[in-house]
Amino acid sequence: MELPEQIEISGYICNIEIVKEIKVSRKRCYGIYDAKTKTIYLDKNMDSTRMKEIFIHEFMHFLEDIYRLKFDDNYLSTLALGILQLVTNKKIKWTE
Ligand SMILES: [Zn+2]
């Protein structure tokens, strides 16, 4: 998967950084969204499917931030899986 350095949604810029390792309170995690800098950090040591899933999850945290929503994190993970299946469904031609 190739990701741009930034994505603009409704005038807000979401930064994306692929990093070697992410630790939150000494605990390793695969992705995190920093609302202060509007940056998604993704651990580079993931397989492609996991990277997509985590990216969608963290991107939804960005949407939660800019639209002032509040998502339950477990629901968000489930939604991210569903969205991943939707966007990778080969029967849908997104570019047409
Ligand atoms: Zn989350």
Question: Does residue 41 lie in a domain region?
Answer: yes
Q: List residues, by chain if needed, whose CB lies under 5 Å from ion ligand 1.
A: 73
Residue type, 45: N
C-alpha 5/C-alpha 75 separation (Å) is: 27
Task: Tally the residues of the chain.
Answer: 96
Helix axes 48-66, 73-87, angle to 10 degrees: 120
Does some domain include residue 92?
A: no
Residue 96: the pLDDT is 75
Q: In this predicted structure, what is the pLDDT of residue 1?
A: 84
Residues of the chain with pLDDT under 50: none
Domain-embedded: residue 95: no
CATH of the domain at 46: 3.30.2010
From the CA of 74, how far away is ligand 1's center (Å)? 8
Q: How far is the CA of 69 from the centre of ligand 1 (A)?
A: 13
The domain of 62 spans 6-87
* Residue 33, in any domain of the structure: yes
Q: Is 94 inside any structural domain?
A: no
